[in-house]
Amino acid sequence: MRFTSLADMNCSIARTLDVVGEWWTLLIVRDAFRGTRRFDDFQSSLGLARSVLTARLRRLTENGILERRAYQERPVRYEYHLTEKGRALLPVIAAMLKWGDDWVPDQNGPPTVLVHETCGETMHPVLTCPHCEGGVTTSNTHTEPGPGHRPASSAIPSAPAGQ
């Protein structure tokens, strides 16, 4: 199946989805955060077709989310490591984990918890304002056009005058 590229949309969310929005992609990133590095380990963990995994790893590498490093010479085999850009997806992964626990929970409880290594406590991600450190919610936050905003163009061309 071929997907339409969202890369040219004037929307940060759309451009992000263009990079990490394909099925399996964020699960590969999740596994990389858990320490999975090798193709066979990703394949074993996820159970997806080798061709799909190959395509997703290639795209993540091309987009600078993962870095491929040779760990064996004959035959050449690679490990995949999160780059700085890939590690910056932690808040996205953590927010999805929290959303899943809250809105599509497992009857036995969360399958994974986040532990803050500094204090050793189980934690949940909290979105806060970097200026006042107040919590960010839908009731106290809105959007406004930013410096990169472009007015939306009509998806349907207007008919020539007189038609």
Task: Look at residue 143 and tell me if it is in a domain.
Answer: no
In terms of residue numbers, what domain contains 96?
12-123
Indicate whether 69 pLDDT > 80: yes
- How far apart, in whole angstroms, are the C-alpha atoms of residue 121 and residue 118? 8
Please say whether the beta carbons of 103 and 123 come within 8 A: no
Indicate whether 93 pLDDT > 60: yes
Better-scored residue on pLDDT, 132 or 14: 132
Rg (CA), the chain: 20
Output the CA–CA distances (angstroms, integers) from residue 49 to 39, 53, 55, 87, 96, in the order listed: 11, 6, 10, 25, 24
Better-scored residue on pLDDT, 7 or 113: 113
Task: Look at residue 41 and tell me if it is in a domain.
Answer: yes
Per-residue model confidence (pLDDT) at position 153: 57
Per-residue model confidence (pLDDT) at position 7: 84
Output the CA–CA distances (angstroms, integers) from residue 111 to 94, 98, 108, 114, in the order listed: 13, 11, 8, 10
**Confidence label for 159 from pLDDT (cuts 50, 70 and 90):** very low
Q: For the packed helices 25-33 and 39-46, what is the interaxial angle rounded to 10 degrees?
A: 110
Total tally of structural domains belonging to the chain: 1
Task: Look at residue 148 and tell me if it is in a domain.
Answer: no
Q: Which whole number is the average pLDDT over 136-140?
A: 93
Task: Look at residue 152 and tell me if it is in a domain.
Answer: no
Indicate whether 42 pLDDT > 50: yes
The reply to whether omega before 75 is within 30° of 0 (cis) is: yes
CATH number at residue 109: 1.10.10.10
Mean pLDDT over all residues of the chain?
A: 90
Task: Look at residue 66 and tell me if it is in a domain.
Answer: yes
Q: Which whole number is the average pLDDT over 7-13?
A: 86
